[in-house]
Amino acid sequence: MTIPADSVWFITGCSTGFGRELAKLVLDRGWRVVATARGKDRVADIVELAPDRALAVDLDVADQAQIDAAVKAATERFGRIDVLVNNAGYGYQTSVEEGEDKEIRDQFEANVFGLFAMTRAVLPVMRAQKSGNIVNITSVGGLTGFASSGYYSATKHAVEGFSESLRAEVQPLGISVTCVEPGPFRTDWAGRSLHQTQSKIADYAETAQARMETTSGYSGQQPGDPVRAGEAMIEAVSRERPPRQLVLGKFAYETATALYRKRLEAIEADRELSLSADYPALAEA
């Protein structure tokens, strides 16, 4: 899609990180933005950058009433929504065995079910316009898995699968869907936005627990620049045909390309075994 000069970007999770930097970049380009956070006072400074083109809205994506109210406020103020950026969410690290049920369910509420609900709420607006772009911030962890991130990766894999089906349904309607898959970026993900359940089982000391300790000490040293990430997202969305996915950062790029190569090789290596599962008459056709 070509971004209209007066386009409206609805961005969830704007208090910090990718959402905050992206909202500022959108305003800098002369577009309009609905900046949301769990407490709109946390994005008041963004609105001050361009009060005539920015709207701050309270939004907890796990609260359907707040989702509905936020979309209504956006359309009443600006009349349309051109780009939905599903950015709100957080991380949770633990060994799979020691995962706490409440932590797991709360993360799925925010990272998965909240994103689903937010998308459903905006789709009627985009269908009426016959245009729009939905950008889902997943992670390189949505393509692969790392020790201690089983549940976090599960949420991001869920969003990847959802996005594939969504794209098939809405692309004929003029709506694009892009998954953004960042590697480590210098946001507060590893600080304020990361929950952990420390491993107490010795068998996981060198895997899950070791990675949790590394992650905690890594905050502020990640190679990725959130501002440059925002610029890359804008460039991708502004294309006539926005990409199905956008990996961000060297780590994510190298991880993703190596992963796909290895998976394709593994699938092809078992070609005969795979094809043998069909009924013989069909396999010979």
Kindly state the DSSP code that residue 244 receives in the 8-state scheme. Answer: S
Per the structure block, which two tokens stand in for 177? 């869907």
Report yes or no: 142 and 91 within 8 Å, Cβ to Cβ.
no
Nearest to 66 by CA among 22, 12, 8: 12
Predicted pLDDT at 235: 96
Does 3 map to a domain? Answer: no
Asked if 8 and 30 touch (Cβ cutoff 8 Å), the reply is no
What is the band of 266 on the pLDDT scale with cuts at 50, 70, 90? very high
- What crossing angle do the helices spanning 101-108 and 150-170 adopt, rounded to 10°? 20
Domain count, the chain: 2
pTM summary value: 0.94
> Is pLDDT above 60 for 1?
no
Residues 22 and 100 in one domain: yes
- Collapsing DSSP to helix, strand or coil, 50 comes out as coil
Whether the Cβ atoms of residue 70 and residue 57 lie closer than 8 Å to each other: yes
Q: Residue 162 falls within a domain, yes or no?
A: yes
Looking at the structure, tell me whether residues 135 and 32 fall in a common domain.
yes
What percentage of the chain's residues is helix, strand, coil (to nearest 5)? 55, 15, 30
Supply the CATH number for residue 94's domain: 3.40.50.720
| pLDDT, position 3 | 75
Structural domain range at position 74: 8-248
CA distances from 99 to 120, 140, 152 (A): 30, 21, 11
Residue owning tokens 């056709």: 285
List, in sequence order, every residue forming a beta bridge with 178; answer none if it has no partner. Answer: 135
Confidence label for 214 from pLDDT (cuts 50, 70 and 90): confident
Report CA torsion sign: 65, 68, 72, 74.
positive
Q: What mean pLDDT comes out for the span 245-263?
A: 96
Q: Tell me: the pLDDT tens digits for 48-59?
A: 999 999 999 999
Over residues 76-100, mean pLDDT: 96
Q: Which two tokens stand for residue 106?
A: 């709360």
Residues forming the active site = 152
- 193 plus 259 within the same structural domain: no
- The set of residues, in sequence order, having a beta carbon less than 8 Å from that of 121 and lying 6+ positions away, is 67, 68, 71
Both 160 and 276 in one domain: the answer is no
Q: Is residue 166 one of the residues assigned to a domain?
A: yes
Check residue 268 and give its pLDDT. 98
Q: How many CB atoms lie within 10 A of CB 95?
A: 22
pLDDT tens digits for range 161-207: 999 999 999 999 999 999 999 988 777 655 567 899 999 999 999 99
